[in-house]
Amino acid sequence: MNARALDERLFYRNPWLSEADAIVMATEWEDGVKPGHVRVLLDTTIFYPEGGGQPPDLGFIERARVVDVQEIDGQIWHFVEIPPEAGNGGAWLAQKGVRAGASVHLRIDWQRRLYHMQQHTGQHLLSAVLEQDYGIHTLSFHLGTDYCTIDVSAKNPADLPLEEIEAKVEGWIERDVLVRIHYCPPEDVAAFRLRKRPPADEAVIRVVEIDGYDWSPCGGTHVERTGQLRALKLLSLERYKGNVRVYFAAGAHALELLFKAYEEAKQAALLLGAGVGDLSARLRDSMEKTAHLEKKTKKCAQQRAEAEARLAISQAEPEAVLEFKLEDEDAERGTGLVKAAAVLGRAAIAVSLPDSTVVVQVVQHGNFPALAELLKEKMTALGGKGGGGATFFRANFASPDQAVLFAGYAKEALGTGRS
């Protein structure tokens, strides 16, 4: 960046500026421009171009919607999307009052800009705390729409005490210290204790300072005081490519997430008949009771399956393959029945009509051929999917009729295939 470029970039001179006037220097809609777009060059702009991990500003030039902003060869181009029915992009843009030499009014999406400012300054403060207080370096930064991330040099999430880090960041927010912007030539940058290396081949280096605590070369937009961050919340940690990825949110977005989480907690507490402060204890108690009930339910289901298998055996011919047809129960119920039958020494087939699924189980040493070899070809021919091994096979079909057809084939095959 050079001194003249700095004068043209109003987002640096006053990042709180949401509207301004400018002169159109050029419009281009042919070579090198995205299909369906016209790009506009202005003599000055409030639109921040994408860069340094920060997305571009969006908004309007007169009545033309700006959908992207990029710096290309030192110039900031504003991309305007042209409706498919518009025909000639230049003519359409001129109708909106945007043509070379025209004075135009600029308006950015202010909430988007403020979000970017708060997240970016929040990242600087978080990275500074990690660097200064824990010796953990920030490796990369991503500013997203729902959350932001930094990848840091820690090897284990346990190396980052979240509550302690948040408390230190909150201390800086409460102190409401200045966030200063410095511009200097490369030869003077050594005067600052930079947290990371400055960009090469720049005529002017932009350094963002958090009141004698942190200095970082940065081209993004920032708030003027740490108190304008309002809050910063560490959302989660995960291992990532041998390091740790930190998810966080700052500013109004962090407060929005916290408010939503509290409202959800209130609703959950209401359902559990507890206060928000007792939510985790009550939830733990409910989970323990649920686990106990699930265990009892599983045992009851097993006992029921055994009883039904015994009844079916008593009503069937000796050594006949048992068949269970489930009109309104799922395949898991069928699996319980055939397994119970196998324990009692009988081969069995269950077809679940709601799931269009067939499960087959034979006795471990019942002289049956391997089920996978016996049934897979027929399953595939009927359009089914599934598989199994020597003693168990499960197949799912597109319709109950196909499942019933396969079950009949399986029963017949087991009856004739036994050695």
124 with 51: CB under 8 angstroms?
no
Answer whether residue 288 is part of any domain. Answer: no
Residue type for position 324: F
Tokens standing for residue 339: 């397994």
Question: Which class for 257: exposed (0-12), middle (13-18), buried (19 or more C-beta within 10 A)?
Answer: middle
Shortest CA distance to 400 belongs to which of 337, 330, 345?
330
- Residue 16 belongs to domain with CATH number: 2.40.30.130
120 with 143: CB under 8 angstroms?
yes
Q: Are residues 245 and 136 in the same domain?
A: yes
Q: How many helices (H) and strands (E) does the chain have?
A: 10, 18
Q: Which residues of 304-323 are buried (b: 16+ CB within 10 A; e: fewer)?
A: ebbebbeebbeeeeeeebbb
Given 68, 83, 108, which residue is the final one in a domain?
A: 108
Answer whether residue 23 is part of any domain. Answer: yes
Q: Are residues 252 and 318 in the same domain?
A: no
Domain housing 207: 113-267
363 with 344: CB under 8 angstroms?
no
Answer whether residue 278 is part of any domain. Answer: no
- Residue 374 belongs to domain with CATH number: 3.10.310.30
Q: Are residues 64 and 123 in the same domain?
A: no
Tokens standing for residue 263: 């409202």
CA distances from 54 to 24, 106, 194, 259, 402 (A): 25, 20, 20, 26, 56
Dist CA 391 CA 363 (whole Å): 7
Dist CA 176 CA 179 (whole Å): 9
Q: What is the pLDDT along the chain (419 residues), one digit of tens a residue?
A: 655 677 789 999 999 999 999 999 999 876 556 667 889 999 999 999 999 889 999 999 998 999 999 999 989 999 998 887 666 667 778 787 888 999 999 999 999 999 999 999 999 999 999 999 999 999 999 999 889 999 999 999 999 999 999 999 999 999 999 999 999 988 888 889 999 888 887 888 999 999 999 999 999 999 999 999 999 999 999 999 999 999 999 999 999 999 999 999 999 888 888 888 888 888 899 999 999 999 999 999 999 999 999 999 999 998 899 999 999 999 999 999 999 999 999 999 999 999 999 999 999 876 788 999 999 999 999 999 999 999 999 999 999 999 999 999 999 998 875 55
Q: How many residues does the chain have?
A: 419
Q: Are residues 124 and 188 in the same domain?
A: yes
Residue 333 phi/psi, 5-degree rounding, is -65, -40
Number of domains forming the structure of the chain: 3
